[in-house]
Amino acid sequence: MIETGLKDKIVIVTGASSGIGKASARRFAQEGCKVASWDVQETAPEANGIAQKVDVTDTGAVRQAVHQVVEQWGAIHILVNNAGILRDGQLVKFKEGVPASEMSDEQFDSLISVNLRGVFACARAVVPHIKAAGGGSILNASSVVGLYGNFGQTNYVASKAGVIGMTRVWAREFGKFNIRVNAVAPGFIATDMVKSMPEKVLDNMRQHTPLGRLGTPEEIANAYVWLASDAASFITGAVLSVDGGVVVGT
């Protein structure tokens, strides 16, 4: 058995109040890590961890939260950039051949601010501390749609493709400091938000997934833990699709 080497590591997980973020914070805690759970909503800390109310679009708040983590625990080893939102809509929607609606500036800008700029702001604030600790990992939440596109998600796809681009740049920039940077690209995952969708929509998701089911938040959390662990010590700049084969089945 390969040891994960994660015991006593200091981890920040953004978007940790629910879904994949909450599952990820819990999994790292189970590995013996000290976990700082960040979210714009109030959230309960994991065992041996802390919870901080942090808006990742506020660079000042991000830097202050990072400072608090380092003050409390002395270091940071792992950042999981999980926070994200949806603001779906067609770029231009036509009705009877005439433009009827369009994606608004607010839909585009608000999503990019969280999903892309937030990843940038958190990594920028944390990297010096991971370097000072002798190395570690940055794990970024992308999506299979960031690789292959999706109808009605111009903003979301742009953000997730951008995350992949930043992941590859940072892998090049920070490898010399023993900082590995990887992305995870989930497929259809049974978060509370997804499970609240109409059953017809859920059935369609399952039908397009060769494994015939939705993934679980815990399965994405397992991917984050593995990529951060010693078992993945020679992996950086990678995008790991955790999608039940959804792209193959499309």
Beta pairing partners, 34: 10
Q: Is residue 246 part of a domain?
A: no
- So what's the pLDDT on residue 93? 95
pTM given for the model: 0.94
Residue 35's nearest CA partner among 19, 47, 17, 18 is 47
Residue 103 to residues 84, 91, 193: CA-CA distances in angstroms?
A: 18, 5, 22
Of 28, 38, 108, 156, catalytic:
156
Q: Is residue 249 part of a domain?
A: no
- Rounded to an integer, the average pLDDT of 181-194 is 91
For the cut 70, the answer to whether the pLDDT of residue 250 exceeds it is no
Do residues 135 and 113 make contact, with C-beta atoms less than 8 angstroms apart?
A: no
Q: Is residue 33 part of a domain?
A: yes
Q: Is residue 244 part of a domain?
A: no
CATH code of residue 156: 3.40.50.720
Stretch (H or E) spanning 138: strand 136-141
Stretch (H or E) spanning 112: helix 105-112
Q: Is residue 3 part of a domain?
A: no
Structural domain tally of the chain?
Answer: 1
- Rounded to an integer, the average pLDDT of 78-90 is 95
Q: Is residue 245 part of a domain?
A: no
Domain that holds residue 100: 10-239
Q: Is residue 228 part of a domain?
A: yes
Q: Is residue 123 part of a domain?
A: yes
Please say if 156 is a catalytic residue: yes
For the cut 70, the answer to whether the pLDDT of residue 1 exceeds it is no
